[in-house]
Amino acid sequence: MKILTTIDEVRVASSDISKAGKTIGLIPTMGYLHEGHLSLFDNANEHSDITFASIFVNPTQFGPNEDYNKYPRDIDRDTELAEEHNVDYLFIPDALEMYPIGFCATMYIRNLTDKFEGQLRPGHFDGVALVVCKLFNIIRPDYAFFGQKDYQQTLVVKQMVKDLNMDTKIIVSPTIRLDSGLAMSSRNTYLSDEEKENATVLYYAMERAKDAIDNGERNRKEINAVLHKQLRSVQGIRIDYASIALANDLSEPDYFYPNEQAVILLAVYIGKTRLIDNFLITFQ
């Protein structure tokens, strides 16, 4: 595995790979790798000739009161894991490499970013779109791999690729979970053992909502009520949102109809840690 730290190095490597007629798969990450990331590496190895991964804690997607400075980092551990999972190139830039002095560009994807995470974290998806656009322009991947856990993010990236006529195909892999149902996340490291146990209520609430749907419930507000009731069974939980929406555009109809695909979206605080999760459902 080759470790690259500058954009020029990456462009040379990417150009050589393309000239050799080989395909590139990219996994953008912020590091502190877990099983979810590793599954994306494995997926990239199956779809691509050459696997690129990036590790960059992107400052533009963090708000002023969020956890940029304390976001978990362990480059040595991440490098070892990436090599074990057959990553060919690991791009580890610093902030000045990605955003040099005088950098002025911004990105904004309308509509999809006006609700849920975008509403509660203003500017978050602008930063996500910006860094992903830069990585795509630098690396020129044929495929890019993302996890379903960040569902709204995957929609934003797909919209950006479509609107800007990018050649990269986006592949979304299922969320990797612990046996308890808790979705793998770098921020799980913030949780105490008791909080990890309490956090299993996210998956439990989505399962109860699915049960209601399987039993014929089609009213959006009633489904949301099931989610909120189950989440509030844990003392001290704080809910940012717990809602079901159409999976393609996150619109929220009053009722759902057969063959419509929907997504349950959750964002809650367990103690001081904010967790997100989601669950895809097709109405029968």
Q: 220-256: per-residue pLDDT in tens?
A: 999 999 999 999 999 999 999 999 999 999 999 999 9
**How large is the average pLDDT for residues 164-187?**
96
- Find the radius of gyration of the CA atoms of the chain: 19
**What is the three-class DSSP state of 84?**
helix
Residue 161's pLDDT band (boundaries 50, 70, 90)?
Answer: very high
Tokens (6 digits) for 147: 């996890």
Contact 141, 109 (CB under 8 A): no
Tokens (6 digits) for 88: 């060919």
Segment 109-155, tens digit of pLDDT: 999 999 999 999 999 999 999 999 999 999 999 999 999 999 999 99
Q: Give the up-direction half-sphere exposure of residue 170: CA atoms within 13 A in the CB hemisphere.
A: 21
pLDDT at residue 65 is higher than 90: no
pLDDT at residue 39 is higher than 90: yes
**What is the three-class DSSP state of 224?**
helix
Sign of the alpha-carbon dihedral angle for 14, 20, 25, 31: negative
Average pLDDT score, the chain: 97
Tokens (6 digits) for 232: 């509030």
In the chain, the percentage of residues whose pLDDT exceeds 90 is 99
Q: Give the up-direction half-sphere exposure of residue 135: CA atoms within 13 A in the CB hemisphere.
A: 33
The residue ranges of DSSP E strands in 157-210, in sequence order, are 169-173
CA 185 to chain centre: 10
| Residues belonging to the active site | 37
The ranges assigned to domains in the chain are: 2-173, 186-282
pLDDT at residue 276 is higher than 90: yes
Q: What is the pLDDT of residue 249?
A: 97
Q: What is the CATH number of domain 186-282?
A: 3.30.1300.10
Architecture of the CATH domain 2-173: 3-Layer(aba) Sandwich (3.40)
200 class by beta-carbon count within 10 Å (0-12 exposed, 13-18 middle, 19+ buried):
middle
**How large is the average pLDDT for residues 157-177?**
98
pTM: 0.96
Q: Of 77, 86, 94, which is closest to residue 2 (Cα–Cα)?
A: 86
pLDDT at residue 96 is higher than 90: yes
